[in-house]
């Protein structure tokens, strides 16, 4: 067994983009992720699907007993030969007890490495527009624990501390009043400016500016809660000058930090599509597929041997690749070690009968079997049920801010949206350009839905500077989409842009399971109408005279295709 190793990794102040490159790489490699309550789900989502997640958050008042348990878990998992990522908010050696964990690992002969992170002691003030050092206001800064303020016997020299320029207290919300009182008692003016930064770079970021004399009262009124960073000193006044500086980590209108778009729900989509994954696995087990793929087998020969439609067979095989059961090679599809060991009848470790029985108890793959045997049929539009419409609208609303963000500059003319997400697109555009003309049409709503029911794009307001097509491809036939693309290009002004955002656009790189399974599910339900491939879409846009085609990956299993009309 290979020796294990523990990486004590700083996760930074919260936003996934503020991870170090090394931290992100280790998350993707780790076999075990040990984390606490300061780690966001968006950061954990970087871990490989097979990684074991162990939540080791510490209940209030039980920090020492829980820390002993963490030590034991780190040693045990490493001795099992695992790559263990001990993920800690901020920097692991700045009030993160990372030093204690490193000591314990060293004492028990476990290999370890410490990866620094961006400490919230510096990042939180920065997020609020507060520079902790400044040539004219502060030549030194002290980082202090807020836990010892209530203790009469403390290692903190409050008299010396009160004379320093900038003070940053971590974990100081509950003891803010005591901290302020001690500083005032040792010579700091009650009028000294101070600030609390709650959840820096997180969704609920909030900033409270006060003075030492009234911070306890203001804190209670504002409802600031942990985790929050307490900054004391004249540098707090700088916030008035630099807090409005723009940054790539976008903010809502209320000033709170967010991602563009909001948190990535790929894990939730994976769960929602898991039923179809069970169907694909059940079908493969039923026909003993994994016995046939012990050596790589071309899809054509597999389809012929199993009596499957050739194109549909590729979709099933790709779904099994996305699930981590097969590998796609130059000479065909072959088993990964997991499948070779447990899913073949010919293996002494086979669990095929057990897994087949278990899958049959929870799902039926009759429709999937019919699809893979019959192949594509004529396109059948999905029923206009409220749940389906709500699902399309929710996905468009979720992605709209990220789509609009791809506009590098103000559109040269009015903006038209065809499809889902009207209110969200309107709001995202208004935030950047309040006076920009915007119109919206959704031919996919209502009983007479369908792109074929869409009247010609209105000429009033044309030529348009930008046209967004949102959620059209998966719900319409290729012919209808071709027509709407032609109309859009005709209505687009010189130098204008077309954006196509859709949920299931397969790319040259195999998408994650929720995308592959979602696309397969739509094709089974709609009679096999395949979504446009990116290559086909690019070729169509090029044939229509558009140029500069770009493909952007967006969260929630979606892609955005962008193309422009050459300037006259």
- Catalytic-labelled residue, pool 77, 171, 318, 369: 171
pLDDT tier for residue 255 given thresholds of 50, 70 and 90: very low
Given a cut of 60, whether residue 536 has pLDDT beyond it is yes
> What pTM did the predictor assign?
0.48
Kindly write down the DSSP assignment for every residue of 308-328, as one continuous string.
--HHHHHHHHHHHHHTTSEEE
Structure tokens that stand for 244 in this block:
């409005």
Structure tokens that stand for 546 in this block:
């558009």
Chain centre to alpha carbon of residue 399? 12
Please choose, from the candidates 445, 434, 343, the residue with its C-alpha nearest in 3D space to the C-alpha of residue 390.
445
Structure confidence by residue, pLDDT tens digits, 241-250: 876 554 555 4
Q: How far apart, in whole angstroms, are the C-alpha atoms of residue 188 and residue 182?
A: 9
Can you give the C-alpha Rg of the chain in angstroms? 29
Q: List, as own/partner pairs, every contact residues 98-104 make where C-beta atoms lie below 8 angstroms and the sequence separation is at least 24, other chains included.
A: 98/8, 98/10, 100/67, 100/71, 101/8, 101/70, 101/71, 101/74, 102/8, 104/71, 104/74, 104/75
Q: Which CATH superfamily is domain 386-565 in?
A: Vaccinia Virus protein VP39 (3.40.50.150)
Least confident of 7-11, 180-184, 322-326, 417-421: 322-326
- Catalytic-labelled residue, pool 5, 58, 328, 406: 58
H/E element holding 421? none
Specify whether 36 is catalytic. yes
Its sign, for the CA torsion 135, 139, 145, 149, is negative
Rounded to 10 degrees, the C-alpha dihedral 504/508/509/510 comes to: 50
Class of domain 122-242: alpha beta
Specify the pLDDT at position 55: 79
Q: Provide the percentage of residues in the chain whose pLDDT is more than 90.
A: 40
Please state which of the four CATH numbers 3.40.1010.10, 3.30.450.20, 3.20.20.70, 3.40.190.290 is assigned to the domain occupying 5-118. 3.40.1010.10
Rounded to 10 degrees, the C-alpha dihedral 461/462/463/467 comes to: 90
Specify whether 453 is catalytic. no
Specify the pLDDT at position 508: 46
- Catalytic-labelled residue, pool 22, 36, 266, 406: 36
Please state which of the four CATH numbers 3.90.1150.10, 3.30.450.20, 1.10.10.10, 1.10.150.80 is assigned to the domain occupying 269-374. 1.10.10.10
Least confident of 71-85, 140-154, 453-467: 453-467
In sequence order, the 6+-apart residues with CB closer than 8 A to the CB of 235 are 125, 130, 131, 132, 133, 134, 137, 138, 165, 166
Structure confidence by residue, pLDDT tens digits, 419-477: 889 999 999 999 999 999 999 988 877 655 554 445 556 555 568 999 999 988 766 66
Structure confidence by residue, pLDDT tens digits, 339-385: 888 889 988 888 888 888 878 877 788 888 888 887 765 544 544 45
Given a cut of 50, whether residue 528 has pLDDT beyond it is no
Domain spans of the chain, in order of start: 5-118, 122-242, 269-374, 386-565
Specify whether 56 is catalytic. no
151 φψ region: left (φ > 0), alpha (ψ -120 to 50), beta (else): beta
């Amino acid at each position: 067994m290979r020796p294990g190793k523990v990486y004590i990794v700083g996760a930074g102040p919260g936003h996934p983009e503020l991870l170090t490159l090394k931290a992100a790489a280790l998350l993707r490699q780790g076999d075990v992720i040990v984390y606490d309550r300061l780690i966001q789900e968006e950061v954990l989502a970087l871990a490989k699907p097979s990684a074991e997640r162990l939540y080791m958050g510490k209940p209030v008042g039980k920090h020492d007993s829980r820390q002993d348990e963490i030590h034991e878990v780190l040693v045990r998992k490493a001795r099992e030969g695992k790559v263990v990522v001990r993920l800690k908010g901020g920097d692991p050696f700045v009030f993160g007890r990372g030093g204690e964990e490193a000591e314990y690992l060293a004492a028990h002969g476990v290999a370890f490495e410490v990866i620094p992170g961006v400490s919230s002691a510096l990042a939180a003030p920065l997020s609020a527009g507060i520079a902790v050092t400044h040539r004219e206001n502060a030549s030194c800064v002290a980082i202090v624990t807020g836990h010892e303020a209530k203790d009469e016997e403390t290692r903190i020299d409050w008299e010396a501390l009160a004379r320093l320029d900038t003070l940053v207290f971590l974990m100081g919300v509950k003891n803010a009043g005591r901290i302020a009182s001690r500083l005032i008692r040792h010579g700091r003016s009650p009028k000294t400016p101070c600030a609390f930064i709650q959840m820096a770079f997180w969704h609920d970021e909030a900033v409270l500016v006060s003075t030492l004399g009234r911070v306890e009262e203001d804190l209670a009124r504002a409802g600031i809660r942990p985790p929050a960073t307490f900054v004391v000193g004249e540098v707090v006044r700088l916030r008035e000058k630099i807090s409005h500086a723009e940054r790539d980590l976008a903010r809502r209108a209320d000033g709170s930090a967010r991602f563009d778009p909001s948190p990535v729900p790929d894990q939730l989509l994976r769960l929602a599509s898991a039923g179809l994954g069970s169907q694909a696995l059940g079908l493969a087990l039923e026909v003993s597929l994994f016995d046939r793929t012990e050596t790589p087998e071309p899809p054509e020969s597999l389809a012929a041997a199993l009596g499957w439609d050739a194109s549909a067979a590729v979709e099933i095989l790709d779904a099994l690749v996305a699930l981590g059961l097969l590998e796609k090679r130059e000479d065909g599809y072959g088993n990964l070690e997991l499948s070779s060991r447990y899913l073949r009848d010919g293996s002494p470790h086979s669990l095929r009968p057990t897994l087949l029985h278990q899958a049959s108890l929870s799902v039926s793959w009759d429709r999937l079997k019919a699809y893979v045997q019959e192949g594509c049929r004529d396109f059948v539009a999905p029923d206009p049920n409220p749940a389906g419409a709500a699902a399309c609208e929710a996905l468009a609303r979720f992605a709209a801010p990220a789509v609009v963000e791809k506009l590098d500059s103000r559109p040269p003319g009015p903006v038209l949206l065809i499809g889902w997400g009207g209110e969200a697109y309107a709001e995202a555009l208004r935030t950047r350009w309040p006076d920009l003309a915007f119109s919206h049409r959704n031919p996919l709503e209502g009983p007479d839905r369908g792109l074929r029911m869409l009247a010609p794009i209105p000429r009033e307001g044309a030529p348009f500077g930008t046209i967004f097509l949102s959620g059209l491809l998966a719900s319409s036939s290729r012919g209808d989409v071709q027509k709407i693309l032609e109309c859009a290009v005709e209505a687009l002004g010189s130098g204008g842009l077309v954006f196509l955002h859709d949920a299931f656009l397969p790319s040259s790189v195999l998408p994650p399971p929720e995308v592959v399974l979602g696309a397969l599910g739509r094709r089974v339900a709609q009679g096999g109408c395949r979504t446009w491939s990116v290559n086909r879409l690019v070729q169509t846009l090029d044939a229509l005279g558009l140029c500069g085609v770009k493909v952007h990956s967006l969260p929630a299993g979606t892609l955005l295709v962008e193309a422009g009309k050459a300037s006259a």
